Amino acid sequence: MSLPNCPQCNSEYTYEDGALYVCPECGNEWSQDASADADDVKIIKDSNGNVLQDGDTVTVIKDLKVKGSSLVVKVGTKVKNIRLVDGDHDIDCKIDGVGAMKLKSEFVKKV
């Protein structure tokens, strides 16, 4: 039986510790059940429940203050060519007049 590579650093030197797999190189620990579900893709939905994909165009549904500046992204701002990422702010994009931003999918709707 071969053990799976580390999902974080892709190290091949993983070992079992009880019900966990452990990576000695980066220190990552994950459950053996999680490795079976590793192929599952996280589905990100907009405020209306529509599934979002990379390259979609969305519209902002609420005025959003830009942290660290006095800029505001206004309601109705159209954002083209989004990129989905992991994390709390799950959309990476560029907004005209503002620049690179991370948005939460709950504050946008798919066009």
From the CA atom positions of the chain, what is the Rg in Å? 19
Q: What is the pLDDT of residue 1?
A: 60
Evaluate whether the domain defined by 1-37 bears CATH number 2.20.25.10. Answer: yes
Give the residues of the chain that fall short of pLDDT 50. 39
Evaluate whether the domain defined by 57-110 bears CATH number 1.10.730.10. Answer: no
Q: What is the pLDDT of residue 28?
A: 87
- Long-range contacts: 103-106, Cβ < 8 Å, 24+? 103/60, 103/64, 103/79, 105/44, 105/45, 105/46, 105/47, 105/52, 106/46, 106/47
Q: What is the pLDDT of residue 41?
A: 58
User: In which residue ranges of the chain is CATH 2.30.30.40 found?
Assistant: 57-110
pTM for the structure as a whole: 0.63
* Dist CA 68 CA 56 (whole Å): 27
